[in-house]
Amino acid sequence: MIDIHLGIDDTDSNEGMCTTYLTTLILEELMKKNIIMTDYPNLIRLNPNIPWKTRGNASLCLRFKSDKPKIIFKIAKKILVENSESKKQKANSGIIMLQSKKIPDEIIKFAEKCLYQEIKMTELNKIISHNNIEYFGQGTKRGLIGALAAIGNTLSSDHTYELIAYRKNIKVERGVSLESLIKIDKSKIYSTFNNIDYNNFRILITPHGKDPIFFAMRGNNPIDLYNAMSKLEIYDQAERFIIYRSNQGTSEHLQNKLDLKNIKTYQSGYVNGTISKKPNVIRGGHIFLKIESNNNHINCAIYAPTITLKTISRKLEKGDEVEIGGGISKKSKEYDQVLNAEYIKINKLTKKVININPKCKMCKKVMKSIGYNKGYKCIKCGVRSNIIKKRQITREIKKGLYLPVPSAQRHLTKPIERYGKENYKIKNIPKGTWFRIF
């Protein structure tokens, strides 16, 4: 049997469909052809700072063995054409099939670049011409970029899992019991994360669009996710569910160190530097930080909805050493390129010293300042002094990593609770019930 990698991307729009759901439709038919899965279906999040990204910014890959590659591609293409939003000219779908046991290095490198920079179609076309690839695209065919990136990202490093359930009736409101979800979230039995944002009292497992997703639970272990789903009380019928292996919750897009001499729009990554100016609060409660790194400067924006990041950034001082990760925005009339912060790591806090008015030696009263650099004067007896006393005050913040509240985090953002619990070198052959149609 032949090792096959089937990548799919850009089949949805704001009006409906979901590439994860369309992938389950393909998988449903391929199972009838006796394929042997070699991995969980892969859900790969790409660079979230690309403005023309798909709604969920997710590309998909099915990895399996089959002796019918031509039939496989024909089935997948037919399902894509019949169900993609491309038929309404609202998507630019792409599907790619690679027949190879080992993923070529240039495809792996291509997938890495798709995490942190803009990719041109010319680069994609060059790789396609070099490899044993069958493909089909619609519209601008930009979906082929994500499809190839999904194939190239084998999740050989840290990874998570996502259980997605789909609803039978997309016209009704998604009904999930908050009480049961809180019990799951608080339990130590399950390895789930980002179920609820307690800061905003918001359920995070249910989307709000017209797509077929009922709910989606994320976690470190696929068996835990299945068990958590069985404890979740729902008020509507699920039509099917699937468990994906994914790079979300890993911050994989922020492993790229940014070169401030050669910053490019839409890049994702991080910069180490020093706060060179006091934080500037602008209209709307957003905060701008000026960062200096090797004599180069960049503005970093912390937006109000991040809440925790905003609170921390206001307390930063000139001279503090930080690492900030995020995405580079396009130039505007007011600002040059800006790094939109997705996390702040405080590496070193500068000492904060304040001047203290001395006490009069004659009458022991606190003296008053006469003016800048003019010394002090006792208002009772008139004694003057040029002695300046200083006192170091305790900073209100500590060194460490700070993230936005869960509702303001990217799909790719690695939550605090996952640090120290990374998934490495784990066998990925699907186990237990990972795909079911009700």
User: Domain coordinates of the chain in residue numbers?
Assistant: 2-154, 160-250, 252-349+395-413, 353-391
Task: Please tell me the CATH code under which domain 2-154 is placed.
Answer: 3.30.70.2200
Q: Indicate the fold that domain 252-349+395-413 takes in CATH.
A: OB fold (Dihydrolipoamide Acetyltransferase, E2P) (2.40.50)
Cα(first)–Cα(last) distance of the chain, in Å? 30
* Rama region for 17: left / alpha / beta (φ>0; ψ in -120 to 50; rest): left
Q: Quote the DSSP letter at residue 361.
A: T
Fold of 160-250: Glycinamide Ribonucleotide Synthetase; Chain A, domain 4 (3.90.600)
Enumerate the H helices of 131-235 as residue ranges.
Answer: 143-152, 178-186, 222-231
**C-alpha angle 380-384-388 in degrees, rounded to nearest 5:** 115
CA distance 281 to 33: 60
For 130-153, give one letter per residue: b (16+ CB within 10 A) or e.
Answer: ebebbbbbbbebbbbbbbbbbbbb
Query: Quick one: which H or E segment has residue 188?
Result: none
Residue 396 contacts residue 382 (beta carbons within 8 Å)? no
Place of tokens 């491309």: 86
Q: Rounded CA gap, 105 and 156, in Å?
A: 13
Residue 188 confidence (pLDDT): 83
Question: Residue 6: beta bridge partners?
Answer: 62, 97
Q: Do 252-349+395-413 and 2-154 have the same topology in CATH?
A: no
DSSP SS3 for 332: coil
State how beta strands 202-203 and 94-99 pair: unpaired
Residue 120 burial (C-beta neighbours within 10 Å; 0-12, 13-18, 19+): exposed
Write the CA distances from 107 to 90, 96, 102, integer angstroms: 27, 12, 11
**Mean pLDDT per 10-residue run, the chain (438 residues)?**
97 93 98 97 97 87 98 98 94 97 97 97 94 95 98 96 95 93 94 95 93 96 96 95 98 97 96 96 93 95 95 96 97 88 98 88 86 85 84 94 97 96 86 95
The per-residue pLDDT for 333 is 79
What letter does residue 83 receive in the DSSP assignment? H
